[in-house]
Amino acid sequence: MGAKKWLRGLVALCATAVLGVAMAQTKGPDPAYAKQQDATLQQMKGNLAKSAESKIKFVDVTTCYSCHKDIKEFHLNSKHSNVNCAYCHTGAENHLAKNGKADGINQSIGTRTDHAACATCHQEQFNSFATVNHESGAKIEKATARGVSPLFDKLMAPHGFTREHNEPRSHVFMNLDHLIVDRSYGGRFQLKDWTYITDSKAVLTNMWELVLKDADPANSDQKIFLPGTATAANPVCMNCKSFDNILKWKYMGDPDPRAKWSRVSKPVEFARDVNHALNCYMCHDPHSSAPRVVRDALIQAVVDRGEGTYPYDKAKSEKNPMKKVTFRDGFRAIGLLSKPDSVLMCAQCHVEYNCNPGFEPGAGPNGTDKPVTMADQRTNLFQWSNVFDYNKKMVDKFGNFKDFRHSVTGAALSKIQHPETETFWMSKHEREGVQCKDCHMGKVDKGGKTFTNHQQKSPRFMLKETCVKCHGEMTEQDAKYQIDSIQNYTRGKIAKAEFWLAQLIDTFARARAVGVAPEAIKAAQKHHDDAQTQWEWWTAENSVGFHNPAAARKSLTQSVAESQAGIKVLTDAMAAKTAVPVAAAAPAAPPGPATATK
């Protein structure tokens, strides 16, 4: 037996010895709890992935199983069957003393959410995640000459993203970057100094004490601390960055007496309770090691709405379905995958989704906009649509929810997030079965063992392990040249779409100045809405077209066409408004004397 395995067994044995006597004296679950677990077990039958199955059993945890029979189904025959409960849970004595009952919103047992719990065994995976990806580049705003969208601020005014919207960098900094971005908390949270921008160790160890400073630690109200900032953050935003609150958040974020947090919680208070970015258990079930997802809005789209794991390919969806398993009478849920699929795992964050209040255009009294607050479940929504169907689906399925009105045109518009998953659907690579991990999480051989790199980086920096591995006819230089060609071509199309959108915005200003008819303004606003979605999709999406070059070209050229159509509506209306009326014809003169003709 290896040293690590021997030590793990010893710790497990000690934990069983310490906890076993007391646990053996506890009662089984009360009838109501047992009924909840029976419901969970029924959902789980036949839905645990084969990768989660194993006959290895190192630890006897039957004392825990006596109450947690649903967890037993996950744990007993899994690769994690030799991992004792005490590795991930704390405060067993208190849990037993209270017979497992929660104290209001506080559970009677602690659950570790830090990466170190998994790093005990999965050290190389953790080390790769914790390593700064210098190759991806330092943070840079998209709305700059070197960014992907130089005209972003004009096209998105006055949305909060115009305060700061950055290109992505290492996943380990997801929480930190959200807290310090100028659009989220009014400048409340700042780095202690700029040297911490690359300190992943401090971020993982104790971000709040070592890295950040809070401008007003005694207060939790959202307010402006620095000029040029906004207070646009809310609890749903954070569910893309961290699931530290997995046991404190009800499914879909609905308020509940058992939940510490909900969609309507104070953003600053919620943020202060978050410490760890991209928890391991977001993709890996801790009891069984089975592949799963935990993002509630994804589970809702795939299972509750019945749209499937691949909504544009029913057959593929059926080959890898998602099974929703609920706990505590539906308080929370997970989505079990029948086999690992990194497209779905990454779709927990890399999608377009609603995460903010909005409005329904013209649906209020006297044609005013009807507010949609965080109390509405649509503020935690995965549309689960590609770019071409997006606007129509928002009208048909989701009450025409909109995020903001443009400051010049007045058009009701959507704010697109990061739709990598929807962009990848139906692409050539997706059709061939390629997944996110194949290009962004290469395999690494070290010490005679192979592990998956959890740094998540562009294939541009590991061409041999990604592109060339499948395309044997390519050299690394060929692969890089092709990536650059696709992205440069797409950048050109983005620039053209931005040019024509800017022209459309300027035309609105001129049209309003001459007082064109409201009907013309409304018709042009519809063109603006369509042009905006078809453009912004590709500035929000982070592959600059590489995930689906054909869709990028089609969408961006459609954006140009919609902008030009809107311009024509307005210029025609201006021409009609400013045309000089033709003078009435003068009466005909009386006929003169007849003249002889020769």
At 133 the pLDDT is 87
**CB of 591 within 8 A of CB of 531?**
no
Q: Please confirm whether the linkage preceding 158 is cis (ω < 30° from 0).
A: yes
At 9 the pLDDT is 45
How far apart are alpha carbons 391 and 385 in whole angstroms? Answer: 9
* Whether the predicted pLDDT of 397 surpasses 50: yes
Paired tokens of 125:
């995976």
At 130 the pLDDT is 93
Domain 3-121 in CATH 1.20.140.10: no
At 54 the pLDDT is 42
What H or E segment, with its residue span, contains residue 530? helix 518-540
At 43 the pLDDT is 56
Amino acid at 536: E
Per domain, the residue ranges of the chain are 3-121
Average pLDDT, the chain: 88
Amino acid at 234: N
What is the pTM (predicted TM-score) of this model? 0.88
DSSP codes, 78-136: STTTTS-GGGTEE-HHHHHHTTT--BTTB-SSEE--STHHHHTT-HHHHHHHHS--GGG
User: Range with the lowest mean pLDDT among 71-80, 314-323, 353-362?
Assistant: 71-80
Of 62 and 401, the one with more pLDDT: 401
Buried b (16+ CB within 10 A) or exposed e, 317-339: beebbbbbbbbbeebbbbbbbbe
pLDDT in tens, 229-276: 999 999 999 998 999 999 999 999 999 999 999 999 999 999 999 999
User: Range with the lowest mean pLDDT among 42-56, 277-291, 362-376?
Assistant: 42-56
Paired tokens of 50:
């084969």
Of 125 and 25, the one with more pLDDT: 125
Return all residues near 285 (Cβ < 8 A) that are at least 6 apart.
52, 74, 291, 292, 334, 336
User: Range with the lowest mean pLDDT among 33-47, 205-219, 374-388, 441-455?
Assistant: 33-47
